[in-house]
Amino acid sequence: MRRYASYLVFSVVIGISILSWSDSFGQRKRITGQILNSKTLHPIPYASIRILGTYEGTSSNSEGEFSLLTSSKDSLNISSIGYKTKVVSSEEVKNSVFLEEDIKVLNNVVVYAKTVSPFKIVQNAFNNIAKNYISKPFKMKTFYRHYCKDDSLYGRLIEAAVDVYKPTGYGKPKSSLFVNDAIQLIQSRRSYDKTFIRERHAPISYRFVLGGDLAAYQNRQKKPIPYMLLNGSVKYFRAGMKNYNYELEETTYLDGEEVFVIRFSANPWWNSKNMDLEEIFVEHHGKFFIAANNYAFLKLESHVTVGTKKTTDRIFYKKGKDGYYISNIVHDNLFNIDTDSSEISHKVHIELLVNDIIIGEDSEFKNVPITREILAANVYNPLFWDNYVTLSENPLESQIKKDLEKNQRLEGQFEAKSQADFEMYEDISQDYLSLNEILSDSKNELIYIDFWASWCRPCITEFNKSKKVVEAYANKGVRFIYVSLDDRKEKWSRMKNRFGLAGHEHLRIGSYSSILQDYEIKEIPRYMLIRPDGTVIENAPPPTAAEFSQIIDNELKLIGKANN
């Protein structure tokens, strides 16, 4: 339990900091409002709302609504590309805030189209990242919201407060996430997962959505376009720039300064190159919004279609006194899932809001990746959320509560889910330690390990076919251990009893155990053979394979010779 206990200590330390942080903001009150176009009265989505002179703030949602903790002395800076920035007192925000469109009658678009290369503008934006973005050490406080639905029914909600520390600021874009950066989960609240693919859902996709910060993370290895689109278009964009067409669509304005709007689209001939994608429709297009005076990225809209899978990313940046920084990321993903009886449309929506930036070194900040164990140890604290800046719920998102609260209120689910996960990972941590001990010390036995899960059909098929073979070699002294990747104890117990495996050794390490990464176990069923001398055959054949008996018989003969 030593490994798991460290997570509990971390949770307690965070809990103490939460209480002190809440008390320090006791004089603040939460204000709500809606940002509207003064001419059309239409909502302005994803507008930036910042407390003047600070990095604290929020963003409006898709309906222009926002919520923010402020004091009566605060003034708010409200801005959005294409609108005149407005400064209002927090006391003035009663319901609606109106922004005027920033329209200038100029012939700049015609001039730029003849003299400026759109490709060069985008290239200059990447080349000027180190100059334009915060270069000092800083910590950003973020709010994460993630929900999923099958067809029209919402089935999952996750919200989290996460701190990210950049000890060297932005600098040049890193090739992968958290090369130098550090991360800590402060608090989370999660509903039960009722979606069809709940067994395969990642516990949280924070790393994935943060990877949308194209100013911070760019993979420099050149990849073909299909690979880029299948594995995240944004972080591969700089490497594949020449594989796109660019067009200067228009100029607009932010804070009175011109902004280039550049449309991009992937070259069609890449669609059938490599990876046998001839039969799959592949398409990528979008827009860059780049400041004309310094080539800073202000916004990116990216739309990717690969077959029936559609992904949309909206990435927003904000200028502070120390430079630009990521302010908001909105990610939508839509794909189809085949079930036994029909096809389900699965939608994923994730938003990441940076609600504050703290400039300066933080030598005490420790990197603690958000694993299932960390989530399980993070005890739900409802008081924390009363004093934390979150995104306002969209009117459509109010349906989430109706769908998820059919059997239990969300507050009750947050409490129950937190407790259930804590108990579940107490069991998993014990089995993790047991398997780790087996892998490090085979105790002069021939050990055969079967990695499986209750939702893996090939695993179950193999169980049925291999019963006699397994029993025969178990009687000859081979130690069979079944290691489940199930997270839910009930399903694991039910399945192992159903298929007559109860008489064998069983361990459950969950679907995100570090052992899976250590041995690169990406697919199951997967089999491993450990010799008495401790050497490991990491890709052993299944019991029903023709070579299984030959290999095991040979190993048993070697053991017999060694003993004699």
The pLDDT, as a whole number, for residue 183 is 93
438 residue type, one letter: I
Give 354-376 as a DSSP string.
Answer: EEEEEES--TT-------HHHHH
437 residue type, one letter: E
Q: Which two tokens stand for residue 245?
A: 């067409």
Q: How confident is the model at residue 20 (pLDDT cuts 50, 70, 90)?
A: very low
Q: Which two tokens stand for residue 270?
A: 């890449």
CA pair distance 256, 295, nearest whole angstrom: 15
Q: How confident is the model at residue 326 (pLDDT cuts 50, 70, 90)?
A: very high
User: 251 CB contacts (<8 Å, ≥6 apart)?
Assistant: 106, 108, 109, 112, 258, 259, 260, 261, 292
pTM of the model: 0.76
Higher pLDDT, 267 or 501: 267
The residues that bridge with 57 in the sheet, in sequence order, are: 50
Share of the chain above pLDDT 90, in %: 43
**Strand runs (DSSP E) across 174-256, as ranges?**
182-190, 244-254
Tally the C-alpha atoms within 13 A of residue 504's C-alpha that lie toward its C-beta.
Answer: 26
List pLDDT tens digits, range 50-99: 999 999 999 999 899 999 999 989 999 999 999 999 999 988 888 899 99
How far apart, in Å, do the first and last CA atoms of the chain sit?
A: 40
